[in-house]
Structure formats: C-alpha cells, structure tokens
Amino acid sequence: MKELRFDGRVVVITGAGAGLGKTYALLFASKGAKVVVNDLGGGRHGEGKSSKAADDVVAEIKRNGGIAVADYNSVVEGEKIIKTALDNFGRIDVLVNNAGILRDKSFPRISNLDWDLIQDVHLKGSFKTTQTAFTLFKKQGYGRIIMTTSTSGLYGNFGQANYSAAKLGLVGLSNTIAIEGAKYNIHCNCITPTAASRLTEDIIPPDIFNELKPEFIAPVVAYLCHESCEENGSIIESGAGWAGKCHLIRSNGALLRSNMADAVTIEKVQENWSKITNMENAQHFNKSSEATMFLVSALESIREGTKTSSNNDDVNIVDYTEKDVILYALGVGASLANESDLQFLYENHENFSALPTYFVCPALTAIYMSRNSGITNIPGKEISLEKVLHGEQYLEILGSMKTSGRLTTKVEVVEVLDKGSGALIVTNVDSYDEEGNLVVRNQLATFAIGAGNFGGPRIGSKLVSCVTKPTRSPDMALSYKTAVDQAALYRLSGDFNPLHIDPNLAALGGFEKPILHGLCSLGISVRLVLMAYAGSDASLFKALKARFVKPVLPGQTLTVNMWRDGNRILFETFVAETNVIVISAMDLKSATVHEGAPKDTKPQTTLTISDADFIDLATGKLNAQTAFMKGKLKVAGNIMLAQKLGPLLKSEAKL
C-alpha cells in the first residue's frame, strides 16, 4: 500500500502543546508536512499563558528531522496564527482546530464567565482561525479543515452544558463550511475524539484512560486531511483504535392534516405521536434544504388530498450539480479556445458560473415531471399529444444563481387562449432556491393544433411578447460553426428525444441527419450575445424572449445578428449556409393553421398507432422507439411536430 504523505503541505494545529494536538503535530511532521504548533500554554480551565508547551513540541519535531515553528497566540485571534504560517512557510494547506478548555459545572451554577470562555475558545476560536484560512484556501483551490467536536456535544453530558453547546455549534459550523467550500476543493469535517488528555485525566477511569491513546486517533485525523480523502461535511467519532461515522437522522413522521383546509390540533398530534417518533426507515439529510424539501413533499401529499378543480399548480423538485452546468456549457459550444469561456467550464475558476440559459433545463424537467401539462385545461377537447408544439420561450433571472443546488419549481398554466384553429397554452414555471427565494422564471408558449373554438378568450394578458427587430443593419454579428456531435452532446442536458440522435427517425422526418435542439441553438445564440456585449459576464443577463422558427443541422454555422438598444440587445439567429432564420423576434401572426382536413397542402406529419398500443405507450409499458422499430408506431412526414410526445407521456399524462 502506498504511503500517504504530506510533503510540501503546511499544517496549522491549534492547542498542539500536549495531548491530541501534540500527537497530530508529530504525525504530520513525520509525514513530511511543515507544521505550525499553536498553543497558548494555559491550563485546562483557560488560566495562564506560557510558550513552553509549543516550544517543546517544536523541539521534538526538529530532533526527529521535521520542520516546525511555534505560535503562542490565542485562537480568538486566529488571524495571527495563520499569519505565522504565511510568514514562515508562505502558505497553508491544512487547519486542525483542536484547542480547548473545560469549565465544568452543573447547569444552574454556570456563570457568564464559564459560558463565555468556553464559547470563545471552542467556537469563536475555530471560527476566527478558519475564516482567515478559508480565504487563502479559496484562492489556491485547496484546503482541509478539521473541527473538534465531542460526544458531549452530540449526546449531552451532565455538568457540561456550556461545553456541549459549543461542541455541537462546531458541527453546524463545519456543515456550512463544507457546503460553501466544496466547489473550491475545501473539505471540512468534524472529529469526535475520545482520548486520554489533560482535559480527561481525572474524569475517565484509569484502566480505560490508559487505552485511550491519542496515537489511535491521529491517523484518522491525518487521513481526513490528506488530498486523497474525499470525505466532506462528516462527523467521525474515534477512540481506542475504533472509528465510525455519525450523523443526524429524522423519522418519516406523520401528516397531521389530510387536506389544505384541515386544522392541526393537539389531539391530532397525540393520535399520531407513535408515527412521529418511529425511527424505522429514518432518513439522513446532507443539507438543510433537503430537510426543507422533505416538508415540501409532505405538503404535496396534503395538496393531493385537497379536492379542488381550480388547482392548476404543480410543485416539483429539481436538483442540479456543477457537472450539469459544465456539461450544458459544452453542449452549447463553450470552448477553451475562448478564454472567457473557462469560467463556464472549470469549477475552481474564481468566476465560475452557469450560462443563464442553463436554467431553461430545470424548468423543462419540472414540466416533464408535472402532472399538469395544460392540455386538460381545454374544455370539451380531445387533443393528440403530437399536435402540441413548443413555439416560444421566455427566461428571466431574478436572483444570484448558484452553480449547484436544488430548485423547487411551481408549474402553473396561467391562461389558455382560443385561437380558433388551435389553443395557445401559456405555462409559467417559477423556480425557488433552497432559501425559498424566487430566482428563475420561465414561460413556455405551446400551441395545441385543432384545439380551438372552445369558447375561451382570444386575447390574453399573460404572454410575454417578442420585440420586433430594428429595420437598420445589425450593430454586431457573431458566428459559431456547430459540431457534428453538437446534438449528441447537448441531449445529455436532459432532452433525449431520438430525433436528435437517431438517423432513421431523422430520415422519416425528411432530414438528411438528426437535427439540433432548438434550445441548443438558443443557448449558442445567448452565449454569443454575452460574449459580444457583456464580456461573457453571466451576472449581467436579465431576461430573454425567443421564438423558434426552423431546425438546424449539426455542422451548420449559426450567425447571430444583434442590435443594441440601451441595455437591451435584440437578436435574430440564422443558418449561414442557407440564410434561413431559425430563432426570431419577428411577428409571425401571418402564419395560418387550420382545424380539420389540410387546405391546399399535405399533412406534415402522420402518426398511426392502435388504441391499445397507445395506452401501453402512455402508461410506460411500451417504449416509443421500440414501438416504432416493431412497426406498432408508424411515423410519416415531419416528425418535428411529434417531438413532445415522449416527454409528455413520461410525465404521468392524463388520457
């Protein structure tokens, strides 16, 4: 087995003049680390000060051939400890917050001084030292942090209310630092040691005390600090040659109301108490947002029990990661050939951010998951799903967007307009971050062919309109030649429609090869607009509205014409090789669609499937592509018109 070493690393250990801290210092130094041995030199109750403890440890390290310096500052002035590391070694890679004191008293007898000293050394000291180190870790894209909690903090202990509060506070501090530091390769974990030390020498029985050697715990801490360890945000308990992971769990609980109109009563709580406290199948959550989303799920169960025909809302939860936003950026042509694109492709970049158009993807995912497609909102109409077309897209960023997280999305059909030849369905998808803030608003306009004449309003007020392009020549134009693999790459962002990858299906649609996703063309267009007018700064993006006109073949060149009007940029995208517009803000009201038999033209697409096979398709028993290959589903003409069939069927479509 390869030896794990810390050559070239600088390790700061607080409270390293004796006990666990000293053992940590000796081990790190023996593995090649340069060590800062911090110790105020006071007693275990926080009294006094001396340089001897730290000096003795440094001397021992040097005798053993290691490199170390002493630091005598209080952890409450943690920035001074980190400065010692920088002054002597020029950097810091690892911080072990180990310093601690005891002032044990029964709860009624704890004085303000007893409370404040414990909080200062354990909690505030770890905060101050870590905060200074965190800034340095972030700049260098690497750091490892250890917080020292206690079984008293996790489980409680008589006479240690002040100590227990501080130690559990360190768990919360560690959890948050782990979350905020993850994208910068900063890991933060808690060690829960049970070891023989000056803090426990007259508390633990002698025979047990002799077996609780710090040497049994130090390797666990060292591994958590090694670059090969991926653990982050964990609590590791260790002692006497044993180690195990601890975490909080929560029961599945019980619903205390069956529908939205019910009240919660004391009696209802009593009735369900055994379910509330039943820990069988209990769950662990890695983030507070996950726990909150668990409640959102419970709310949905209550909502399901509410009988109201006017409820058009649908709440779904969509998770996304840094990998997702990077994969999307690659899918819309971000490249290392453009220096400004690095921020969209490298998670450790100081300005790492998501392209704004990525946030159309979670909205579409939410719609696919939704029980409410909007089609059932048209009274008296039976609509074939292949006749539902995605025509327009609006996106607005309302807050600072994270590069990973969880979005709670509310899907709502805001109006259904009767256009005679069809119905225009306007769907809003509002996305909320983990703190409950509205951060993204999407709006999709879809047209249901043949679903008009149901007596509804013809003109609405909810649809965000496109702005007509200026009549003057473009102020700027940029081009991007799409790759032959562009659609194959983009589909990994969530749109797996085989039209974009399967040559056989593309040929049936009259295309020489699989076509590019319209939203991919939109993402490319917006990326070029940001490059031209915003220095590729995604934070300057506010909103967009686009209308899809024609498909694009991978390998074709997209040219984006742009016009600047103050802070607004109007754009139109066309294929350079054919001069065909594919994304436009032009008014297309002159286009006509007829209900019933085609007038003076042939149908663009015809789908043929038996009733029984359609039921199997909708209920998931039959795969659409399998049905096509077996001849159960026949497709003729331009299957662009049927591309929504698969996703809608996957979203629990109502037949």
Catalytic residues: 163
Spatial contact of 213 and 193, defined as CB atoms under 8 Å apart: no
Spatial contact of 235 and 246, defined as CB atoms under 8 Å apart: yes
Tally of CB atoms within 10 A around 384: 15
Spatial contact of 480 and 333, defined as CB atoms under 8 Å apart: yes
How does DSSP classify residue 3?
P
Spatial contact of 511 and 590, defined as CB atoms under 8 Å apart: no
Q: Alpha-carbon distance 48 to 427, whole Å? A: 68
Spatial contact of 25 and 16, defined as CB atoms under 8 Å apart: yes
Please identify which residue in the block is written with the tokens 């409410």: 372
Query: Which structure tokens are listed for 514?
Result: 């699989």
Q: Is 422 helix (H, G, I), strand (E, B) or coil?
A: strand
Query: Which structure tokens are listed for 638?
Result: 């331009």
378 phi/psi in degrees, rounded to 5: -105, 105
Reference 5, options 30, 26, 23, 39; nearest CA is 30
Which class for 407: exposed (0-12), middle (13-18), buried (19 or more C-beta within 10 A)?
buried
Q: Alpha-carbon distance 655 to 382, whole Å? A: 9
Query: Would you give the end-to-end CA distance of the chain in angstroms?
Result: 60
Beta strands in 133-198 (DSSP E): 143-148, 186-193
Reference 529, options 578, 443, 537, 556; nearest CA is 537
Query: Which structure tokens are listed for 373?
Result: 């497609």
How does DSSP classify residue 527?
H
Which class for 524: exposed (0-12), middle (13-18), buried (19 or more C-beta within 10 A)?
buried
Please identify which residue in the block is written with the tokens 């090969």: 228
Residue 334 identity: A
What are residue 10's DSSP bridge partners? 34
Q: Alpha-carbon distance 320 to 407, whole Å? A: 8
Bridge-based pairing state of the strands 634-637 and 605-608: antiparallel
Spatial strand order of the sheet with 94-97 comes to 67-71, 34-38, 10-13, 94-97, 143-148, 186-193, 235-239, 242-246
